[in-house]
Structure 1
């Protein structure tokens, strides 16, 4: 029993000593953990403060050695102003986030259909400068982890290479939408003997708008050449070497990411491919160029520009206070009738100052355009009335010459036109004049950023399609040519166009000539084609065309019943027939000569 008691006493003493050690260890660990938490909170507060403010205390650290990259910690360094939130990663010293603060992107899943608008995120872009060292090994800046030294509005990212040499990316905010960066090296000649490095920029254009098919049309390369003297664009990319490129732009429907080089890009190539796999991206862009190594070093200045495609902004934007126009406005694809689109833009901006909603501005613009073109339309209706009055006589000529030579019948028809003072081509001229108007409107509405996100009636965005019904099932042929929704504005426009076509063909179409196609069939086919063509296009355009055709229908009714007296027109035409024949114009003489030559050729063919 005594032995057992001694054993229990020793055991108790052992447990007490172990307990004291454990309690001491726990107290010590608790203090260390508390200290670590306080340090982490301090770092977190500093990080949050750096994201909310541009100012950040300068970090003084030794540049990272090339052989210790894996041990370095990757950080995101923020830049910010009133328009942009930008993040630069220490991995490769390249962009990892660009958000336009005052704009939102379309989000189908969100009830408000809005989300933050990013032109650059961590997944969609890659920027790299590469060169070979003297052993033939390729060094890529994307693989280097840089040490940041951060100041107000700017930061210097430094990475050591070898033998005391290093490369720096120096970033600085410029203007409202620009970030300048300078690429510099020191001691590069100890690493490489090459004369050029290679710049590679890849970017997947993020889908930002409601209408993907329309946004794809306006997503492309645009660039300026030869000291901003020329501009060009490519929808598929360019594979041949270009002249000196001043800036290259990944242009989307309403926003552009523009990379500009102070000394220009040389030996540049670009490619773009449509992203078929995901709805997140539109196209993949790849751009390469050389980076000259002068006297053994790189010293090149570039600028990133992240711009909304507002015409007034782009026309005057000079981020570096350079007086030279950089032609950024070329990123808005107004086309060959640019001046007419600018005229529409001026009207829109003028009416917008009065607080008029966008839909009603389009309504008023339609009336303005119709007033300008009304004299042309009036002449067109007069010509249609003359052709209708001549129809009985033309039918008589056709009946008399039913079995005659077609050319002889054509000559008789032309003689009747000449005596009556009717030009059969006069009705075509007003239609030709209206083609530039139609084309310019087709370019204006999907590219006017002032209408982006503006709702009207059932349309929630006048720059995208309107939809009264849509379905998720993919129907191969229908989805390709029509889409997965029904646009009511397009449907109403096509119905109005069909009514207008029915009313106008009876007054403006000449009688059908033997051997000539019936153009009325084509005119009736157009409304059907527009149902498929415009279903996924801007609702503002379909609304304009709807109002325009309703006005056309009203004009036909007014002109036919109140402005045109067919009896007077008929009397005037009969009076023209009695007048001495006027000397044929050069055009009429040429037409007659051509007919005579055709008759002679026909006679030879018969023999």
Structure 2
């Protein structure tokens, strides 16, 4: 049995392409927060979020309001504890009773989980009276009354009556009816703007990861189309939004308008540090009939549970960023069902991930076998390739490439087959990149030294901050990096060094690449690191098994010699096009040389 001589040229190209894509993912998500922070610095700085939302600012808006007159009433079910303030007739506090927020001191999810609380959210309807003066219901004082699971807020303004009627429904929904009487005597432009200011409070361990997943999400086209916006501004002047949501990593607040929001625009600014992540503002117009506002809305304060969100039949499940197109399909119809099936057997989350990895590897095993068979075939014909390189050493690169392709064709080696494993691994990588930090069932699930598989493990704490690393080292990330490095060494043991001056040393680059995973995984979900540790450990085992027990390079050599005796296969369309392109390029080079 011959020794594994490493990756061939085609595999190098495939690996480099795959590496470039992964680099793009890594640097995009690592620098996204920094870019948003730099953008926000161009605007008015937010010194402390408490200064932005403290109650004293409400007094500045309307100094005539007597704070002693502000009352609070509440409704409660098994899932939500909701409080309503008479100032603005708004929902002032929402606690999700089945969940807890992360406490940095205890390093556990022990704090009450509030979405609205302590003036971090305010909303209302803005009108313009006949004199041109603008007024907003969020600055008015309402009179509350409670009956059963319904709270009615009522306020008078210049003879007009405005009512907000809230009904705590099943699950996580709160009905919100708006009724006016006599408003037509005050306004005449038929316009009402719904304004919503919301400063999102962090609830998870990994701040940067949670901030990345905190964004606008909305539906339009009669609930059929969805979009999201994680940028600084959001504008939809032409579409009618059925609902607008501000989602965090695992929780979200949604406001649905039966008649929709038009001329919608929003803004979001990241907050550098503290208990808050981002500040959101939204403005959208709602329909009025005869200058009266009588519309039905619904508030939803929900965990990002796929089954729950789908049960509303309003496309809420699209809020969870599981990926576009094939990526999302892979998560929804493969990884999530497998995860749910395995957890239903009572298996711990960490071992579920282990079994998911094995299942994925079994499915991909035929492709991996073909990849390693191709690698073995390339090693067998390496002497012939070396002869071509020596023969055309002083010739132009085009002639050398044509001669090399002729050797491959005669030996029956399909170069493109080496790209297939890389192509298949890209969607799987990105699907899992979306799966682990967005799977609510994994939240709070511990495994070995990781207290939460949706956040990083930080057993090794550092007394200082390292750029792109932070103040900790993740054991899972370190273990994954080491295994990837070992895998790289095994598969690139005898890689040829560059013969032309100025060409990069691919072996050095391939050894550097695994180290970059440490920077990427150190602040990512530990479940993702654990998956890739297991995946690459299995890859190492597969390489050794295929090398020593499955592939026989003597038989492969005999097969290649038999291929050479056969008549060459008819040239395919792709091969023909490649040959014509190379011949054309060669003619152009000759023409330029004559000139």
Q: CA deviation at 1:77?
A: 0.7
From the superposition, tell whether residues 369 and 71 of structure 1 become closer, same or farther in structure 2 (CA, over 3 Å): closer
Equivalent residue number for residue 428 of structure 1:
419
* Structure 2, gaps ≥5 residues long: 1-61
1:218-229, aligned counterparts within 5 Å?
218-229=213-224
Equivalent residue number for residue 106 of structure 1:
102
Q: CA deviation at 1:69?
A: 5.0
1:315-330, aligned counterparts within 5 Å?
315-317=310-312, 325-330=313-318
Greater radius of gyration (CA): 1
Equivalent residue number for residue 176 of structure 2:
181
Q: CA deviation at 1:467?
A: 1.3
Equivalent residue number for residue 58 of structure 2:
none
Equivalent residue number for residue 339 of structure 1:
329
1:509-524, aligned counterparts within 5 Å?
519-524=506-511
Q: CA deviation at 1:465?
A: 0.5
C-alpha RMSD over aligned residues: 2.0
In structure 2, distance between residues paired with 1:261 and 1:306: 15
In structure 1, distance between residues paired with 2:175 and 2:356: 41
In structure 2, distance between residues paired with 1:310 and 1:533: 26
Q: CA deviation at 1:296?
A: 2.6
Q: CA deviation at 1:579?
A: 2.1
In structure 2, distance between residues paired with 1:289 and 1:589: 57
1:471 counterpart SS class: strand
Does 1:566 pair with 2:566?
Answer: no
Equivalent residue number for residue 473 of structure 2:
486
Equivalent residue number for residue 434 of structure 2:
443
Equivalent residue number for residue 417 of structure 1:
408
From the superposition, tell whether residues 249 and 510 of structure 1 become closer, same or farther in structure 2 (CA, over 3 Å): farther
Q: CA deviation at 1:575?
A: 1.6
In structure 1, distance between residues paired with 2:531 and 2:556: 34
- In 2, are the aligned partners of 1:186 and 1:297 still within 8 Å (CA)? yes
Q: CA deviation at 1:113?
A: 4.5
From the superposition, tell whether residues 203 and 280 of structure 1 become closer, same or farther in structure 2 (CA, over 3 Å): same
In structure 2, distance between residues paired with 1:530 and 1:364: 23
1:248-263, aligned counterparts within 5 Å?
248-263=244-259
Q: CA deviation at 1:495?
A: 0.7
Does 1:79 pair with 2:66?
Answer: no
Equivalent residue number for residue 266 of structure 1:
262
In structure 2, distance between residues paired with 1:426 and 1:510: 21
TM-score, normalised to structure 1's length?
0.84
Equivalent residue number for residue 191 of structure 1:
186
- In 1, are the aligned partners of 2:267 and 2:280 still within 8 Å (CA)? yes
Match among 116, 119, 127 for residue 120 of structure 1: 116
From the superposition, tell whether residues 219 and 88 of structure 1 become closer, same or farther in structure 2 (CA, over 3 Å): same
Q: CA deviation at 1:139?
A: 2.1
- In 2, are the aligned partners of 1:387 and 1:510 still within 8 Å (CA)? no
Q: CA deviation at 1:517?
A: 6.0
TM-score, normalised to structure 2's length?
0.85
1:427 counterpart SS class: helix
In structure 1, distance between residues paired with 2:342 and 2:76: 34
1:349-428, aligned counterparts within 5 Å?
349-428=340-419
In structure 1, distance between residues paired with 2:129 and 2:416: 72
* Structure 1, gaps ≥5 residues long: 1-65, 318-324
Deviation readout 1:487-546 (Å, 9 max, x if unpaired): 110111011001111112248x78868697665444323211111111100000000000
Query: Structure 1 stretch 238-247 or stretch 177-186: which is displaced more?
Result: 238-247
In structure 2, distance between residues paired with 1:75 and 1:421: 82
Deviation readout 1:558-577 (Å, 9 max, x if unpaired): 00000000011011111211
1:533 counterpart SS class: helix
From the superposition, tell whether residues 518 and 589 of structure 1 become closer, same or farther in structure 2 (CA, over 3 Å): farther
Deviation readout 1:349-408 (Å, 9 max, x if unpaired): 111112111001101111110100000100000011111111111111111111122211
Does 1:213 pair with 2:204?
Answer: no
1:529 counterpart SS class: helix
In structure 1, distance between residues paired with 2:275 and 2:158: 41
In structure 1, distance between residues paired with 2:185 and 2:583: 84
The count of aligned residue pairs is 528
Between 1 and 2, higher relative CO (CA 8 Å, sep ≥ 6) is seen in 2
Q: CA deviation at 1:598?
A: 1.6
Q: CA deviation at 1:590?
A: 2.0
In structure 2, distance between residues paired with 1:69 and 1:149: 20
In structure 2, distance between residues paired with 1:308 and 1:437: 25
In structure 1, distance between residues paired with 2:67 and 2:381: 92
From the superposition, tell whether residues 95 and 71 of structure 1 become closer, same or farther in structure 2 (CA, over 3 Å): closer
Query: Structure 1 stretch 244-253 or stretch 407-416: which is displaced more?
Result: 407-416
Deviation readout 1:435-454 (Å, 9 max, x if unpaired): 11111111111111001000
- In 2, are the aligned partners of 1:242 and 1:269 still within 8 Å (CA)? no
- In 2, are the aligned partners of 1:205 and 1:284 still within 8 Å (CA)? yes
Match among 584, 587, 601 for residue 571 of structure 2: 584
Q: CA deviation at 1:587?
A: 2.2
